[in-house]
Amino acid sequence: MSKLVAAIPTLAGKLLQAGRPKLMTFMKYAKVELSPPTPADIPQIRAGLGRLITAARTGSWKNQTVKEAWLNTLVGVEVLCWFYVGECIGKRHIVGYDV
């Protein structure tokens, strides 16, 4: 047991050394991907919504590849899951509302 306790500082150092590059990569992408939209992004958002509405009206969404359709499905499922997570956080219970 004493060998295990004595090895903890060296193991922790190795863990930090191995995890630091991955943490730095995560932070690099998190600063870009997790930031809220700025006012400069609003025209791009409006154009994207316009293209979405146009694709729905004309039926051009039917001309997607299987890969594009699969990725769009995954994004939709992700949005739905985050909606349900937000509901659980908002009501502070997993099942039902606390009245």
pLDDT, tens digit, for every residue of 52-99?
A: 899 889 988 889 899 999 999 999 999 999 998 888 888 877 777 665
Average pLDDT of the chain, as a whole number: 88
In terms of C-beta density within 10 A (0-12 exposed, 13-18 middle, 19 or more buried), how is residue 37 classed?
exposed
Average pLDDT score over residue span 10-23: 88
Residue 71 contacts residue 64 (beta carbons within 8 Å)? no
Domain ranges of the chain: 1-38, 64-99
Distance CA 98, CA 89 (A): 12
Distance CA 99, CA 93 (A): 11
pTM of the model: 0.53
Distance CA 18, CA 12 (A): 10
